[in-house]
Amino acid sequence: MLEVAEDTCTTCGSPQVVTKRKPKNYKYGVATFSAGMLGIGLILELLVVDLIWIYAVFLASMLSAGQFVIPKGLRGLARLRLDQHFLMTSASFGAMIIGAPAEGAAVMFLFYISILLEEKAEDKVREEIQALVELEPPSVTIKVNGTEICTSPEDVRKGTILIVRPGNQIGLDGIINRGATSVNQSSITGESLPIPKSVGDQVYAGTINQEGYIEVEVTEESNTTVLSKIIELVDESRRNRAPTEKAISRFSVIYTPIVVFFAIFVAMIAILQGLSITAATYRGLTLLVISCPCAFAVSIPVSMVSAIAGSARNGILVKGAIFVEQMSKTGVVAFDKTGTLTEGVLSVKDVCLHNDYSRDQVLSTAASIETMSEHPIGRALIEATNRENVETSQASDFLSIPGRGVVGQMGEMKYLVGNRRLLLDNRVPLDAEEVHNCGAGTMVYVANKAEHLGTIILSDTLRPGTKQTIQKLEEMGIHTVMLTGDSDNVAREIAEEIGVDDYRAELLPEQKVDLIKELKKKGITLMVGDGINDTPALAAADVGIAMGAVASDAAIEAADVALMEEDLTKIPELILKSRKTMQVVRQNVATSLTVKAVTGILASVGIMTLWMAIGVGDMGLTFLVIANALRLARKK
């Protein structure tokens, strides 16, 4: 039932109509009534009241709780698909028939409590997803013809200007076109520190503007924001079940009929041993209750979804339980180099000098010519001269030669800046041995028409955390491989610097795919890439992991796992989380089967009562495995 109320817009203060849904307390009311009837029945038994009244009170307790159990049990019987609802229905009615109404009511009541526990666990996981949903504010402030209007995010279209004041959530994805601030993006990327943002920077729905007033031009509508994609994929991941989860489901289907047969067998053996039909039936019913598979059946899905939801809150989007299980068995991690292990930004590593020229002369000449170029090499050279306070000159007659480099005039001299082929084409003398001794990296030759001035060695900048990530994976016993299209000498130097076990260089995209297939023979293989150029290799791996997916829709779609920010240290963290998840799954299954085996044996020889069976073997055990599983939902 809905209740209409008037409230105030959270961002602009204007009145708005909202609806509030009353909490559903019916099931808890049923539990309270059933418990009350059970307690009254026990008191009447102590007072030795007429048996008919005792039965009536216990029956009321059983049927009130049983309204959520008995119909499902009967439908399962009609379809010949016996489940835990059938087991508990049989045990409760059986206890009533043999003159144990208190136990019959207790079985149904306590089983109903275990159902509520399961629902509570599912609600906890749904709350994790709902917490993501609630990151999008219920209203946003937009700018229309110079005035501010408060509206719903669903009504805002691309190109609209959002007004976001300090402390407010950003309602939609967009680009800042006015103002500067810092933004808390932890809800999307897991990054704990605020990120500085200014004009031209991207911001995302669900993040928090911490400091300054900003205006944002909307680039994505509410159903296509990064946040909406995360929510949708986390929700879908619950249906993408792991092999272990599927195996347990198949086991449960054949398990219950076997249990029913075994319970009948135990009762018959008890009769043959001289027990009365009532005592033998009681023993069989106790075994039915103990054998209820709900504890280990619920433990796996709750564990998996808890882990997935917890990872999403930490900036790691896993698309299904199957990938959690796969990652827990990881034997090989393959990394793309450029943009993954490195930032894809060239920097000057060294300058090799020739013919008595100085470092400043070589850098100044190269940067002066490259000032007129937009090539990444040019930007690296200019950055180096700025950093080292090297003066540059004005060049003229600039000419870019594709595949070779650039040529320019300074004063009366023409200078060449480019690769080895550029110098050879212009017949500039080169000392091959001297150049070879310069070291490894991307070589930029600087020369005039007469002689070779020097060789600038560029290298890609390692991404922060690269070495720590490789080291951690090695400590975990995982084989690491670097894949790149770069030359062998560049790849070898990077591989040695970061400490990977192996590297493969000069690879075309299709060769990366072939190599991934080869690596999969050694064990479960993860491929880590930037999500766009590496899409074929990501798809070929057992698990494809895309980095920096917050900036790329294609990355979220292409990969099995998406790291919302470019943080390599999350790779070992993710594998450890997967291992912990499967450890919890194994703990829950082993605990469930062990407890049920022990209590089943005790029930078979008549030591366990129905009270003990439901309290220990069902409800207590269910509570234990759910509590263990929900630990995985915690944000790191």
Q: Is 336 a catalytic residue?
A: yes
Instruction: Find residue 405's DSSP bridge partners.
Output: 401, 418
Structure tokens at 485: 């299209």
Give me the residue label for tokens 């894949």. Answer: 483
CB 289 within 8 A of CB 88: yes
Instruction: Find residue 561's DSSP bridge partners.
Output: 318, 545
Please tell me the distance from the alpha carbon of residue 87 to that of residue 98, in angstroms, as a whole number. 16
- In the set 83, 173, 336, 534, the catalytic residue is 336
CB 385 within 8 A of CB 363: yes
- Rounded alpha-carbon distances, angstroms, from residue 191 to 164, 206, 631: 21, 14, 21
β pairing state of 195-197 and 330-336: unpaired
276 CB-contact burial (10 Å; exposed 0-12 / middle 13-18 / buried 19+):
exposed
Collect contacts of 92-98 with beta carbons under 8 A, ≥24 apart.
92/62, 92/66, 94/281, 94/284, 94/285, 94/288, 95/282, 95/285, 95/610, 96/55, 96/58, 96/59, 96/62, 98/277, 98/278, 98/281, 98/282, 98/285
CB 478 within 8 A of CB 332: yes
Instruction: Find residue 481's DSSP bridge partners.
Output: 334, 502
What number of other Cβ atoms are within 10 A of residue 614's Cβ?
27
| Cα torsion through 141, 142, 147, 150, rounded to 10 | -40
Alpha-carbon 45 to chain mean position: 54
Structure tokens at 248: 């347990």
When computed from its CA atoms, the radius of gyration of the chain, rounded to whole angstroms, is 34
Where is 443: in which H helix or E strand?
strand 442-448
Q: Which residues contact 126 (CB under 8 A, 6 or more apart)?
A: none
DSSP character at residue 179: -
Please tell me the distance from the alpha carbon of residue 60 to that of residue 70, in angstroms, as a whole number. 13
Torsion-angle region of residue 351: left (phi > 0), alpha (psi -120 to 50) or beta? beta
Collect contacts of 118-127 with beta carbons under 8 A, ≥24 apart.
118/294, 118/298, 118/302, 118/622, 118/626, 119/27, 120/626, 121/298, 121/302, 121/626, 121/629, 121/630, 122/302, 124/306, 124/630, 124/633, 125/238, 125/302, 125/305, 125/306, 125/309, 125/633
Which residue numbers are catalytic? 336
